[in-house]
Amino acid sequence: MDKGLLIVLSGPSGVGKGTVCSALRKQMPELVYSVSATTRAPRVGEQDGVNYFFKSHEQFQEMIKNDQLLEYAEYVGNYYGTPRDFVEETLASGKDIILEIEVQGALKVKEKFPEGVFIFLLPPSLDELKGRITGRGTESQDTIDHRMTVAVDEMNLIKHYDYAVVNDEIDLACKRIESIITAEHCKVRK
Ligand SMILES: Nc1nc2c(ncn2[C@@H]2O[C@H](COP(=O)(O)OP(=O)(O)O)[C@@H](O)[C@H]2O)c(=O)[nH]1
Ligand SMILES: Nc1ncnc2c1ncn2[C@@H]1O[C@H](COP(=O)(O)OP(=O)(O)O)[C@@H](O)[C@H]1O
């Protein structure tokens, strides 16, 4: 049996990764989603094991020590990481898995899985990006400013990715990603 595809959806905070990813999962129910571990506090409505596995700093350090994370990164004061076993088991079972992670972590995954499909989600403009982060209403002004500075640095790393998808409209962005996945399945692997 062929292994599944490892799909990494990355891009700056507020670009719409979470929104596009959940829309995509509705359209492609067979696509498995990797739930990350984080030390960030849950936001209203977020559930442990669904949105994230919420961990203390000590628990997260323990996961790092035990090599349980495929990658992890510190992002705006918190740790985020991808549980390794779940990804490897899903791929081995022939299913596709999508990781929705920030840029540093995505580049670490690329070192381990160069055959993965790396997709960078772009905002239509930086002004629109700031508007989306602010409009979501989950961040303080300081965090918004910090995330915007990080966003500009992150966009310079797009050259390491296989595909760039502009998130102008959610449905269009999803269609583009679906087409990428279809094309990757048709690819002749050398
Ligand atoms: N490297 C890495 N980044 C992650 C992981 N999980 C989530 N992230 C990223 O961490 C950043 C912050 O996530 P979060 O606090 O939920 O904010 P939001 O995604 O901007 O709503 C986002 O860019 C996420 O995609 C992970 O397992 N590894
Ligand atoms: N294509 C889009 N057009 C307009 N607003 C969007 C679009 N995609 C996402 N958003 C909005 O932008 C904000 C940030 O989206 P989110 O998915 O939380 O981003 P990320 O996961 O990349 O941080 C949310 O309020 C979301 O509703």
Q: Got the DSSP string for 70-107?
A: EEEEEETTEEEEEEHHHHHHHHHTT--EEEE--HHHHH
Tell the residue nearest (CA) to atom 7 of ligand 2: 16
Instruction: Report how far residue 6's alpha carbon sits from residue 105's, in angstroms, rounded to the nearest whole number.
Output: 14
What's the pLDDT tens digit per position in 44-102? 999 999 999 999 999 999 999 999 999 999 988 999 999 999 999 999 999 999 999 99
For the cut 80, the answer to whether the pLDDT of residue 190 exceeds it is no
Three-class SS of residue 3? coil
Q: Is the CB of 170 under 6 A from ligand 2?
A: yes
Q: What is the mean pLDDT of the chain?
A: 94
Closest CA to 19 of 143, 180, 155, 172: 172
49 is in an annotated binding site: no
Cβ partners under 8 Å of residue 33, min gap 6: 21, 25, 97, 98, 100
- Give the pLDDT score at 2: 84
CB count within 10 Å of CB 95 equals 14
Tell the residue nearest (CA) to atom 25 of ligand 2: 136
Average pLDDT over residues 160-186: 97
Name the residue ranges covered by the structural domains of the chain. 6-186
> Superfamily for 6-186?
P-loop containing nucleotide triphosphate hydrolases (3.40.50.300)
**Block residue for tokens 């992002």:** 75
Q: Is the CB of 15 under 6 A from ligand 2?
A: yes
For the ranges 48-52, 122-126, 150-154, 170-174, the lowest mean pLDDT is seen at 150-154
Tell the residue nearest (CA) to atom 8 of ligand 2: 16
Is the CA virtual torsion 174, 19, 53, 9 positive or negative?
A: positive
Distance (angstroms) between ligand 1 centre and the Cα of 100 equals: 7
Q: Is the CB of 55 under 6 A from ligand 1?
A: no
